[in-house]
Structure 1
Amino acid sequence: MKTPLMLLTLALGLSSCSLFAGNKPVDVVVLGLNDFHGNLVPTGFSGIKVPAPTAANPAATANLAAGGAEIIGGYVNSVRSANPDTVLVGGGDLIGASPVISSLLRDEPSVIALSKMGMQVSALGNHEFDQGLKELLRMQNGGCDSNDAAKACKFEANYPGASFKWLGANVVDKDSGKPVFAPYQIVTTASGARIAFVGAVTRVTPTIVTPDGVKTLNFLDEADSVNKFMPEIKAQNPDAIIMLIHEGGTATDKYNVAGCSSLMGNIVDIAKRVDPAVNAIISGHTHQGYNCLVNGRVVIQGDFYGHLLQRLDLQVDKASHKLLSIKAANVVMDASATTTIPKDPAETAIVAKAKGLTDAVKNTVVARIAVPQILRAANDAGESALGDVIADSQLAATRSAATGNAVIALMNPGGIRADLPDSTNIKPDNSVNFGDAFTVQPFGNTLTTVTLTGAQLKAVLEQQFDNPTAGSNRVLQVSAGLTYTWTAAAATGSRVSDLKLSGTDISPTGTYRVTVNSFLADGGDGFTVLKDGTDRLVQPNLSDVDAFQAYLKANTPVAPGPQNRITRK
């Protein structure tokens, strides 16, 4: 059975104007890709289930295989062949938090693949800053002067840089106050239509990347920053203006519901405040699929990992520089065996080369698990089976006197990037390889152990609830032995109760050795109390993924636990 592209559209009549003779309206297609994260090969898209029968369960289903550079490139080619006035753009997080095929090569294959597709501009994402500003500028401009020489320029001898431009109207140098990246760019299509793209990244970026890497930058209010440049953009008479922003929300409506009204989150406030001259907003960051309206304006996001492409069909009048109509849709990048989307041969060559350079490492078997998958989905209290395993692995790696004397480990849920393994990589013998483990924890964070008082430990856990809108799940995953209850309705600072270690109450004045990854240790995700930990022991040669693999190997076959460490009232 073939999977349809599900191109459900929303048509908005924006202007009724009389056109000058000979000035025929121009149809422009804008394709948006957000939160690609270097996923050069397809992964499972939970928005569609397909039959996956087994002998034990003939009625089983699995996530549709979707995305990957070959399919995305093939779709872009087909659209561009039908309409040369096609523009490919990005919604941020094109790189960073990437699987082995891209990350072991410093994400250079992904940038080269997107450049080969003809991407023209992209919003900056927070993950573009994972390796710091200097490395991001190298990714933009090219060269081999990397902070990880072992990975840089291994895909090509001289990395050429991105042919597209990252945009960031709200990313400014602290000293000069000037944007470090271009705030906007006007793209001229084959027929001469001029589409302005203005970009921004979530202003909370410094709290969700390693702070040292962005210490010279300020991340300003997204809407205010875009609005600052709107007079300059409008003075150049573009035919349409599209905002690319790496910030988003959530919606109860599914990705294929056109014109949804259920959108919630930070993007709604931004959309309400941004200049009305912005015709549509391509968003990202929250890894959601939605196609909504905010004050009559399209706000769309395409899931993540290239599962969906956002498609805007514009009709513009070049003579009067007006947008006449817009249709919005999310298009499924079906990569299943029955897909009707052709693969792009140029992208196939890039993927094959990257696989050839990384497969030997990726396919090394680490261990077996007791079930086909250990899932990262959290229960109502915020605890996940995979989060428990990762926290336990970090405790096991730092329990000895030589490695930290840890008695507790905490793991941020945002650092858990996939199930173990992803649904497209389940093996008949339940084995997991290096690639599976690395895809779960792709950041290469090192482990750090600090001493916290019981009062500080409670304060860290209270910080989970300081900013409920900062993410869908901020509940830290905790190692075995640590238990507590949180009450959603309680006052700020008083939500955590019954905090125990191995059944004994945590003493506010007692001291406890606590292991976290280097991102958390520096106050990442807003857990600033961790920066106050004393007797800090940094393990520069012990990464989170190394600890994870060692634990899986030592405890083969690992089984998911009962998820009873955190309870909620």
Structure 2
Amino acid sequence: MSRSTRRVAGVAGIAVAGVCAAAALAAPALADNGNQKSDPQGPLVNVQLLSFNDFHGNLEAPSGSSGRIVVDHAPDAKDADKDGNTEEPADVTVDAGGVEYLSSHLAEARKGHRNTLTVAAGDIVGASPLLSAAFHDEPTILAMNKLGLDVTSVGNHEFDEGYKEIQRLANGGCIDDGDGQNNQNSCPTGSFPGASFDILAANVIEKASGKTILPAYSIKNVNGAKIGFIGMTLKDTPNIVTAAGVAGLEFTDEVKTANALVPELRKQGVKAIVVLIHQGGTPTKQPWTNPTTNKGYLANPVYDWACQGGGDLTQDSAILPIAANLDPEIDMIVSGHTHQPYVCDVKDPAHQSRLVTSASSFGRLFTETNLQYDRRTQDIVRSSVAGTNMIVTRGTKDPAQTELINEYKELVRPIASKVIGHITQDVLKGGAGVNAGGESQLGDLIADAQLADPSVVTGGEKPVIAFMNPGGIRADLSYATSPYGEAPGDVTYDEAFTVQPFNNYLVSMTLTGAQIKEILGQQWSGSNAGTGKKILQVSKGFTYSYTGTTLGAVTLNGSPLVDGQSYRIVTNNFLQGGGDGFPTFTKGTNVYYGGLDIDAFANYLASFNPTGYTPGPLDRITGS
């Protein structure tokens, strides 16, 4: 496929200001469990909150490390990092995640709780597997309807296809996308009802109207307990999504936005307030002692290390200053974005305890929080709030979710099973497929595919360098994997899409040699300073070296890059918009939009048929 014609239709007439209609949710009256001791008609109302985040359309149980949760540590008998040390800690994991199991676990958790709500903290859709993405994430919205989700905030990935699209997912309707001609197909069953839950965007303002693109908050009434939910994404969303996805929008400060809504909620008689925010933290490493040698190491934290297991969040965690400055009237914070598990106490401005939770990602965990609402004060009893992260083990499946998955697996099969190329061995994004400088086998392949794509050629001028952001490479290409019964080494569209799931457009532009060097320096400076370097993947013929944070030689086809000379480059529209902390890409001139990155990837793989693609030497980036 060459230049793509995929476009997203807008939804007219959406009400964007104010509050969603309050909806009472009453679970069936079941026998009280241990935390249901108070008189149902008394002053205290027991309420259960079930929460999760960063589901990313993982309807089927995710595979690999994305489908595992760390539960313990043991000596690294297999020496995974090949450093000769088998005494170091290796993660002990259990398989977890997938909507069939998440839905079943949530249903089980609700038993014995008269008053229960299920909420989420963004990135429910976006960067999704093909089973959902091929249908513009409509299957995930349907799955969330069946699962019983009540409220969610938007996250950054809700803007992958533009804000009109998240409005459509909220309100229903179809996209005229050519009935799947470009590997996407809205409304394959003829209609799409939209979300039966509230999607909140308190800090996302449409500049033209001055109104939020979706409601700012929602009020739920459970047996007389009125709880307000404020939903927000991180204010830095424009820096991590495509420029087109957030065009015409303003993202306001999280603390100022939420605090300004507190008096508005109080005017409506709501004193119990929960913030759902798509911003998060990172647990500290967990100390571990080898039981045989008594040597101490730092290990990847288990799922309940922070903070119930004695751990904490790193001091640079973005959620900490937000949590510490949100109005004391806010009783609890459900967070996300970092894909990390934690249940922590972060003191509010009045120095009172306040729970901050996150449930990893991909439906591998959910957080169960139990609290009491006092009808006399119309507020949450802060000392009663207690949360725990629960593993979504793969035991019982929800038949309704299984039915949905099977339906869409049949609908997606013609797209997913198409063999587009062949590889002669694994092509890896990490581990043994990466050199000391951060260059990866899969990064080389993707950058070369971008460079070879004819859709970015304009005026007869072809790009000479391609840049790919490492965070956009989401999975390995495995030689042995054959999900549709294809021969070993055959690569299906499904496998290729899993590697690059964002539907980014390729963009060519002109940069000077000095600007290119500036971009390379931004891998470890600016917003990327202290992040362990964010190494861009580059195309064949372009090489550079670095030591620490010092850039060394930079060459193109063996000749040094000249500061004052112009070079035609290609990248995706995420980087072109300055994403991932690379603002110099926005200075490119003669900008030209080509086709989709996934199409370039598929076409390039096909060019190696019938023998197949073999990774070359990792000799483009040299560094330490």
TM-score scaled to structure 1, two decimals? 0.84
Residues 127 and 209 in structure 1, CA contact (< 8 A), matched pair in contact too: yes
Q: Residues 531 and 325 of structure 1: is their aligned pair in 2 closer, same or farther, counting only changes over 3 Å?
A: same
**Residue correspondence of structure 1 range 144-293 to structure 2 within 5 A:** 144-145=174-175, 150=180, 151=184, 153-189=186-222, 191-238=223-270, 240-253=272-285, 254=301, 255-259=303-307, 260-263=311-314, 264-293=316-345
Query: Cα distance, 1:108 vs. partner?
Result: 0.7
The change in CA–CA distance for 1:423 and 1:309 in structure 2 (over 3 A counts) is farther
The one-letter code sitting in structure 2 at the alignment partner of 1:480 is: K
Whole-Å separation in 1 of the counterparts to 2:435 and 2:268: 51
CA distance in 1, matches of 2:464, 2:212: 45
The answer for the alignment partner of 2:82 in structure 1 is: none
Q: Please give the per-residue CA displacement for 1:269-303, whole angstroms capped at 9, x wherever unaligned.
A: 11111112222221111222233332343222222
Closer, same or farther in 2 for the Cα pair 1:382/1:27, shift >3 Å? farther
Distance across 1 between alignment mates of 2:435 and 2:507: 27
Among 543, 556, 560, which residue is 1:505 paired with?
560
Verify the 8 A CA contact 2:331 2:380 in the aligned structure 1. no
What is the CA-CA distance between 1:364 and the residue it aligns to? 2.5
Return 5+ residue gaps in structure 1 as ranges: 1-18, 51-55
Deviations along 1:108-129, one digit per CA (max 9) or x if unpaired, are 1111110121111111111111
**Contact 1:184–1:199, Cα closer than 8 Å, also in 2:** yes
Aligned to 1:496: 551
Give the SS at the match of 2:117. Answer: strand
Flag the 1:309–1:471 CA change in 2: closer, same or farther, 3 A: farther
Which residue, 56, 61, 67 being the options, matches 1:42? 61
User: What is the rounded CA distance, in whole Å, between the counterparts of 1:155 and 1:112 in structure 2?
Assistant: 13
Report the more deviating stretch, 321-330 or 146-155: 146-155
**Aligned AA for 1:126?**
N
- Distance of 2:512 and 2:596 partners within structure 1: 25
- State the partner residue of 1:118: 148
Q: Does the residue aligned with 1:47 lie in a helix, a strand or coil?
A: strand
Residue 445, structure 1, aligned to residue 504, structure 2: yes
Tell me the SS of whatever aligns to 1:279: strand
Counterparts of 1:15-30 in structure 2 under 5 Å? Answer: 23=42, 25-30=44-49
Amino acid at match of 1:162: A
1:35-80 Cα deviation digits (max 9, x unpaired) = 1111111113243499xxxxx99xx999754322211111111122
For 1:174 and 1:429, locate their aligned partners in 2 and report how far apart those are by CA, in whole Å.
Answer: 51
Cα 1:167–1:157 change in 2 (3 A) is: same
Q: Deviations over 1:148-180 (max 9, x none)?
A: 774454244221111111112211122443323
Distance (Å, rounded) in 2 between the aligned partners of 1:62 and 1:429: 30
CA distance in 2 between partners of 1:76 and 1:280 (Å): 20
How far the C-alpha of 1:454 sits from its partner, in A, is: 0.7
- Is residue 302 from structure 1 mapped to residue 359 from structure 2 by the alignment? yes
Does the Cα contact within 8 Å between 2:335 and 2:356 map onto a contact in 1? Answer: yes
Partner of 1:456: 515
Q: Which residue is equivalent to 1:355?
A: 409
Counterpart of 2:131 in structure 1 is 101
Paired letter, 1:386:
L
Shift of 1:244: 0.7
Unaligned runs of 5+ in 2: 1-37, 73-77, 80-89, 286-300, 348-352
1:484 to 544, 552, 560: 544
Q: Hey, what's the Cα distance between the residues in 2 that align with 1:425 and 1:311?
A: 38
Partner of 2:446: 390
Q: Deviations over 1:411-461 (max 9, x none)?
A: 112322333359997899354321111011122223222222211211222
Indicate the RMSD between aligned Cα atoms, in angstroms. Answer: 3.3
* Equivalent AA in structure 2 for residue 221 of structure 1: D
Structure 2: distance between partners of 1:376 and 1:455: 30
Q: Which 10-residue stretch deviates more, 218-227 or 175-184?
A: 175-184
- Whether contact under 8 Å (1:69, 1:351) holds in the other structure is no
SS in 1 for 2:150: strand
**TM-score after normalising by structure 2:** 0.77
**Offset of 1:564 from its aligned partner?**
4.4
Deviations 1:534-559 (A, max 9, x none): 344432xx321122223334445545
The secondary structure found in structure 1 opposite 2:562 is coil
Matched with 2:400 is: 346
The count of aligned residue pairs is 531
How far, CA to CA, are the matches of 1:268 and 1:474 in structure 2? Answer: 23
CA distance in 1, matches of 2:477, 2:95: 16
Distance 1:444 1:565, change over 3 A: same
Is 2:520 aligned against 1:520? no
Indicate whether 1:549 and 2:571 are aligned: no
Distance in 2 between the 1:217 and 1:422 partners? 43
**Contact residue 376 and residue 416 of structure 1 kept, 8 A:** no
